[in-house]
């Protein structure tokens, strides 16, 4: 884990020094959504409160029907739900931003900034000292309970609480040769008599 943080920290430090503001994945999503936004028709409903109606004119194969979506830029809302879920402007929000000549990149969450990712991986871990230098532990020893261990082999045991409805009347089986109870066809005492 420590080496992973060191490698990622060096990687994101280089990206930060290159002047890149947002991550590569974020920029890729923004390019895809911008291409989709070029096919939308935007109607302004309330210019002061930045409320729009965005109509899709092309099916992009996302599994949802084409339709009209309400976009509220001040409230950070789009009816498709992507903008609220991922905090990345969807194609409807980008289309609304281009209608009023607003930069859609300003609506991106700061989570996707390279500086934040660098901050995550800038932490370091101390190297563990040699075992002989460890202080003596003076606390409670915790041991696992073997009865709580799950059995991995065999058929799983049902833990369902059974009721009267679950009790089924077991039928007493009969021998298929002589039709008597208490034995089966392979142990039938009358087998010889029926075959002769």
State pLDDT tens for residues 19-41.
899 999 999 999 999 999 999 99
Tell me the pTM: 0.61
What pLDDT does residue 193 have? Answer: 59
State pLDDT tens for residues 110-142.
999 999 888 888 888 888 889 888 888 888 888
Domain ranges of the chain: 1-22+110-127, 29-107
Long-range contacts (CB closer than 8 Å, 24 or more residues apart) made by 83-92: 83/107, 87/111, 87/112, 88/26, 88/29, 88/30, 88/33, 88/112, 89/30, 89/33, 90/33, 91/33, 91/34, 91/36, 91/37, 91/40, 91/60, 92/37, 92/40, 92/54
State pLDDT tens for residues 151-192.
778 787 778 888 877 766 666 778 888 888 888 888 888 877
What pLDDT does residue 190 have? Answer: 81
């Amino acid at each position: 884990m420590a080496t992973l943080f060191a490698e990622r920290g060096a990687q994101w430090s280089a990206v930060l020094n290159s002047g890149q503001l947002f991550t590569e994945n974020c920029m890729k999503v923004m390019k895809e959504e911008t291409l989709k936004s070029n096919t939308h028709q935007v109607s302004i409903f309330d210019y002061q409160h930045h409320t729009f109606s965005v109509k899709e004119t092309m099916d992009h194969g996302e599994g949802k029907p084409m339709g009209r979506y309400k976009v509220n830029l001040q409230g950070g809302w789009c009816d498709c739900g992507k903008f609220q879920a991922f905090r990345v402007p969807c194609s409807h929000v980008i289309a609304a931003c281009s209608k009023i000549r607003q930069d859609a990149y300003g609506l991106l969450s700061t989570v996707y900034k390279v500086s934040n990712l660098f901050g995550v991986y800038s932490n370091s871990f101390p190297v563990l000292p040699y075992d002989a230098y460890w202080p003596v532990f003076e606390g409670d020893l915790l041991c696992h309970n073997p009865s709580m261990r799950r059995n991995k082999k065999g058929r799983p045991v049902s833990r369902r609480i059974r009721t009267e409805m679950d009790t089924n009347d077991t039928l007493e089986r009969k021998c298929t040769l002589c039709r008597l109870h208490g034995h089966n066809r392979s142990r039938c005492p009358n087998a010889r008599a029926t075959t002769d």
